[in-house]
Amino acid sequence: MKFSRLILANLFRKKARLVLTIGSFAVALFLFALLGVVNDAFSRGADVVSADRLVTINRTSIINTIPLSYRDEILRIPGVKYVTHDNWFGGVYQDPKNFFPQFVIDPENQRQVFPELIVPDDQWNAFLKDRQGTIVGAATMQRFGWKIGDRIPITTTIYGLAGKHFEFNIDGVYHGAKPEDDETQFWFQWEYFKESVPDQLKGQVGWYTIRIANPDDAPRIAKAIDNMYLNSPYETKTETESAFAQGWVKQFGNIKFLIVSIGTVVFFTLLLVTGNTMAISVRERTNELGVLKAIGFSDRAVLGFILGESIVIALAGCVGLLLALVAIPVLGRALAGLLPPLLVTAKTLAYGVIAALVVGFASGILPAYGAMRLSVVNALRRV
Amino acid sequence: MVRVDGSGAAGSLIQVRGLDKTYRRGNEDIDVLQGLNLDVDKGDFVAFMGPSGSGKTTLLNLLGGLDVPTRGTISVAGDEITHMSRDKLTHWRARHVGFIFQMYNLIPVLTAFHNVELPLLLTKLSKAERRKHVETALSIVGLGERMRHYPRELSGGQEQRVAIARAIVADPTFLLCDEPTGDLDRKSADEVMDLVKRLVNEHGKTVLMVTHDPVVARQANTTLHLEKGVLVEAGARQAAVAGGAS
C-alpha cells in the first residue's frame, strides 16, 4: 500500500490521457456487457427450459400444423404426465412494431406443463370462465401500461384471417418464477380461437409441449411419439425443449459466433490502444525509472509499478460495467418484445472484470518488462 | 585520507583495486578506466575532475553499483560489490549509497516530501517514522517549509536541495554527486556546496563528487584528476591550493 501513492501519482501525470484510456476501457466493457447480455438472452431459451419437457412439431416445419387428436394418443405413452398444445397467433396490437408473442393455449394443461409461469388462482379461475379472456406476462403489461380488466384489440395476420380483429379481456397476469423467465407472452383460450378459424384448422394445433415423469426417458418417449406418426400425413418431430430452443435460436444465425467475433475485435483493439499508451508512458519517464532503480527500487518493484498502473486503469474502466448495469435494463424495456429479456447477471459482470484485468495485465506486461530490464546507467543518460 | 596508489589501509571505507572499464562501440573497444586504484576513508570529501570522456561519471557509476567493471574490485565497508547479483546490488545501493544528480532527477508528480520519502519506502519504517525522517532531512537542507511543494514550484537550487535531502534521508554510507551544481547559477551552486560541506563537517558524511568546475572542486578536501582512464594526481586540498598559488 505504501507504493500506491507513487502508482496513482504517475497515473494522474497526464490527466487527459488517463481519462481517454479509462474511457476506452469503459466503452469496451460496456459493449462486452451488452454483447454478453444479448448472447445470454438468445441462449437463455436453452438454459432455462425444463429437462422434463419435450416439444413435438410437424416434421416438415413448425409453421405446419398437427392434429389435435394426437394429444390423447401421446398422453397414453408410458412416462408422459401432461400434454398441452399451442398455436402461434401472429397478431398486431395497434402497430406492427408493438410486437409481443401471442399463444393460443390449452387452459386445461397449461399450468401443469409450465408450472414456473405463475398465475394467481383467482385470476386463473376468472380466465377459465371468460371465453375472451387473456393472461398476459408482467413485462408486456408494464410495457403497454395495461391493467387487469382492460380490453385489448388484436388483429391477426395469419390463418387466412388477415385483418380480423379479436377482442380480449385481461383477466390475469403471470410472473416467471425466475428473473430470466419470459414474461412477454399473451395467452388466450383455444375455444375462442377455434370458433374463428377456417374449418380445416379447427382441429389443428401448432405444437405440443409434453411433460414427462423422468427426464431420462426423454429419448424413448420422443422416439415413441415420432414412430407413432411415421408415414402419416402429419409426421412429427419430437425433441427435448432444450434442443428445440437451440434450434429456434439458430434460425437467427450463429449469434454466439457473431458476438464472440465482435468482442474479440473490440478487446484486441483495446489491447493495442492501452499497450501503446503504457509504452509511451514508460518511454516518457525512462529517466525517472532509472532514478528509482538507482536509489534502490528493484527490477521487480518497477515491473510492479507499471503493471499496477495498467491494472488500475483497467479496473477504473469497469465503470463501463456499472453503466451497463444502469443502461441495459432501460434498453431492454425499449426493445421488449423484439428481443428476449436483457438481464445483466453477476456472471456477466464478473467476466467483464476478469476481461478487464486480463487486458490490463496484457497491455502492461511488455512495457513493464522493458522497464524492468532497463539498465540504470542508460536510463539516467536519457533526459 | 585518500590514496590512488593502491597502498591504502585495509580499513578504508572505499577500496578500489585494479579497476578497468571497457565499452564496446561497434567493433572498437574503448578503455575508459584502466587499472584504477583508490582508497577513501570515512568522512572524506573527494572531487573528481577531468575532461569530458575521461571516465568520471563511469567511475561514479561503478562506485555506486550502477554499473559493473570489466576487471578489478570495489569494496565498500567490507562488502565486495563487484560480484554481487543485480538484485543484491540493488539492495546494497538502497542501504549504502545516496545519489545526487546534475539534473536533480526529482519525480515531478510527487511533492518534495514524497520525493524525499522514496528511499524510506524500501525500509521497514512505519509511516510516522518515515515522516519524522523526511522532516529532519528537509530541515537539514533548509526546506522544511516547502515540503508540500512540487518540483515545478521550486527553484533549481531548491530542487537540488530536495535531491540532497532524498540522498541523505536513509542515512547512507556515502554520497555520490554527479555535477551537483552543473545546472545551477553561482549563488545557488554556493548554497548547495555549503550544504554538502555541512554534511561532511557536521554530519560526518563521506562524499565523492564529479565536477568540471574548479571553484566547486576546491570545496572538497581532496581533488583527484582523471585523465585517459587513470587517476594521475591526488592531493589534499591544501596541497592543491598551494600548487595553484605557485
C-beta atoms of B67 and A12 within 8 A? no
Phi, psi dihedrals of residue A238, rounded to the nearest 5°: -115, 135
Cross-chain CB nearest to A295 (options B108, B109, B118): B118
* pLDDT tens figures, A28-37: 999 999 998 8
Give mean pLDDT, residues A89-95. 88
Chain-chain contact of B105 with A291 (C-beta, under 8 angstroms): yes
The conformation of residue A5, written as its DSSP 8-state character, comes to H
User: Is A297's CB within 8 Å of B107's CB?
Assistant: no
Q: Look up the pTM and report it.
A: 0.72
**Per residue in B198-213, is it b (16+ CB within 10 Å) or e — as a string?**
ebbeeeebbbbbbbeb
Q: Collapsing DSSP states into helix, strand and coil, what is residue B175?
A: strand
In this predicted structure, the answer to whether residue A215 has a pLDDT above a threshold of 60 is yes
> Which of A376, A381, A382, A383 would best serve as a mutation to test chain B binding (most B beta carbons within 10 A)?
A376
A227: pLDDT strictly greater than 90? yes
Q: Grid coordinates standing for B71? A: 576487471
Model pLDDT for residues B128-155, shown as the tens digit of each residue: 999 999 999 999 999 999 999 999 999 9
Other Cβ atoms within 10 Å of A122 Cβ, number: 10
Element (H, E) at A212: strand A207-212
Of A10, A292, A376, nearest to B109 by CB-CB distance is A10
The answer to whether the beta carbons of residues A309 and A278 sit under 8 Å apart is yes
C-alpha distances out from residue A30 to A266, A271, A351, A352, Å = 11, 16, 12, 9
Contacts of B76 (CB under 8 A, 6+ apart): B13, B14, B15, B63, B92, B96, B173, B174
Interchain contact, B66 vs A294, CB within 8 Å: yes
* A210 touches A228 (CB < 8 A): no
Contacts of A328 (CB under 8 A, 6+ apart): A33, A34, A37, A342, A344
Cα–Cα–Cα angle for A70, A72, A74, nearest 5°? 65
Interface predicted TM-score (ipTM) of this complex, two decimals? 0.90
- Structure confidence at residue A280 as a pLDDT band (50, 70, 90): very high
Q: What is the band of A207 on the pLDDT scale with cuts at 50, 70, 90?
A: very high
Residue whose C-alpha is closest to residue A249's, from A46, A53, A52: A46
The C-alpha cell at A265 is 475485435
Q: Has residue A22 got a pLDDT over 70? A: yes
Q: For helices B86-96 and A299-316, what crossing angle results, to 10°?
A: 90
Report the first-to-last Cα separation within chain B, whole angstroms.
24
Q: Which residues of chain B have pLDDT under 70?
A: 8-9, 233-246
Which residues of chain B does A13 touch, with a Cβ-Cβ cutoff of 8 Å? 108-109
Residue A349 has pLDDT above 70, yes or no: yes
Q: Which of A5, A287, A296 sits opposite B114 (nearest CB)?
A: A5
Single out the residue of A107, A373, A47, A375 nearest to residue A241, CA to CA. A47
